[in-house]
Amino acid sequence: MAAPSKLVGETLGHYKILEQIGAGGMGVVYRARDNKLGREVALKVLPEDVAHDRERMGRFEREAQVLALLNHPNIAAIHGLEESTSARALVMELVEGQTLAERIAAGPLALEEALANTPTKRALFTGI
């Protein structure tokens, strides 16, 4: 499997990898172009050590299944799984904007901002 940083410019399935936009313990996230549907998506590509670890692969697959069941404006939609001889990836909706880490680093949320980002805002004030 290619090293994550070397995937930029490569194609995974019908997704052209454009740039790395994030990284964490369970993978590297890339902006990619869906060549079939003409849209940009996020690809969460598993590191090689994860791809060969049965327990971590199980966690990755469960994450994909859970995301596929969810439909919420504050959760990126999953479009599918992509697997090739070079990588395994979760294909997700590309959400532009600050990362959670960037927003947290900017300081505490004002109550109004926090409530504006939750679908339960109305329920909190009306008891619905």
Question: Position of tokens 């300081």?
Answer: 107
Beta strands in 15-126 (DSSP E): 15-24, 27-34, 39-45, 78-83, 88-93
In the CATH scheme, what is the code of domain 4-96?
Answer: 3.30.200.20
| Residue 97 burial (10 A CB sphere; 0-12, 13-18, 19+) | exposed
Structural domain spans, the chain = 4-96, 98-128
pLDDT computed for residue 43 by the predictor: 93
Cα–Cα distances in Å, from 64 out to 32, 43, 105, 126? 18, 12, 28, 34
Q: Please list the ranges in the chain whose pLDDT falls under 50.
A: 1-2, 4, 121-128
pLDDT computed for residue 47 by the predictor: 79
pLDDT computed for residue 119 by the predictor: 59
pLDDT computed for residue 5 by the predictor: 64
* Cut 0.75: pTM above it: no
With H, G, I as helix, E, B as strand and everything else as coil, classify residue 63: helix
